[in-house]
Amino acid sequence: MSNNLNIRGLYMVIAVLVGAILVVAVYIVISSLLAGQPLTQANTAASTDGITRIDPPIEVPPFTLTAADGTFFNSAQLLGRPVLLSFGFTHCPDICPLTLRDFRRVHAALGDHIHLLWISVDGERDTPAVMTRRFQQLEVEDIVIGLTGQPAAVRTMGQPLGLDFIYSEPNESGFYNVDHTASYFLLDAQGRWIRRFAFGTDLPTLLAELEIILQQTPQG
């Protein structure tokens, strides 16, 4: 009997340890998504202000997705100005509306000198009509370029940036959530990735860095 109790106790200890390891692993993955950090690091120089400087810049391959007006949008249309880019989905209750609020403030400060680009990671639900309606609700329809497309296409274009997104299991009504990389990414006027801003980066800090990039950008 004593041996059986010892074995059961050992099994319980092992189970607790395995559970703790799984919790830590899940935390690390989710933290990486929210911080927008690729799980493998390359060519980055991080600072304590929420800004990661990419040196040398990383090329982002050309891509074509669908705009909020239903037309195809090619990344070549962005060339000539820096691009502040984020990923999200219209059913997002918190991070995405805050992101678009920040974008509205960036536009108020810097105007059209920088493209503001938002790409959906939920192409099945985020049709152009749905995206247009959400942008109108958040009052960004005239200042943010909204793009959507098949999830595989979005994963491909976001791969150089370390983009990841994970769908939750639908509930009984069919609703599901999407955990996604929440950082903002800055592309230069040649379409190369040069900065990553952690979600929650102080707005004055973000604006100051964008102003530096604009001063370094040739005016065409």
Q: Is residue 21 a part of any domain in this protein? A: no
Q: Identify the band that residue 45 occupies on the pLDDT scale cut at 50, 70 and 90.
A: low
pLDDT of residue 49: 86
Helix (H, G, I), strand (E, B) or coil at 207: helix
Neighbours of 214 (CB within 10 A): 15
Q: Is residue 77 a part of any domain in this protein? A: yes
List 126's β-bridge partners, or say none: none
Q: Is residue 157 a part of any domain in this protein? A: yes
Q: Is residue 71 a part of any domain in this protein? A: yes
b/e per residue 118-155 (b: at least 16 CB within 10 A)? bbbbbbebbbbebbbebbeebebeebbbbbbbebebbe
Q: Is residue 32 a part of any domain in this protein? A: no
CATH code for the domain in which residue 195 is found:
3.40.30.10
Total tally of structural domains belonging to the chain:
1
The whole domain housing 59 covers: 44-216
Q: Is residue 35 a part of any domain in this protein? A: no
Contact 82, 106 (CB under 8 A): no
Q: Please write the tens of the pLDDT for every residue from 139-168.
A: 999 999 999 999 999 999 999 999 999 999
pLDDT of residue 12: 57
Is residue 21 over pLDDT 90?
no
Q: Is residue 100 a part of any domain in this protein? A: yes
Is residue 42 over pLDDT 50?
no
pLDDT of residue 14: 53
Higher pLDDT, 102 or 44: 102
pLDDT of residue 29: 41
Higher pLDDT, 71 or 34: 71
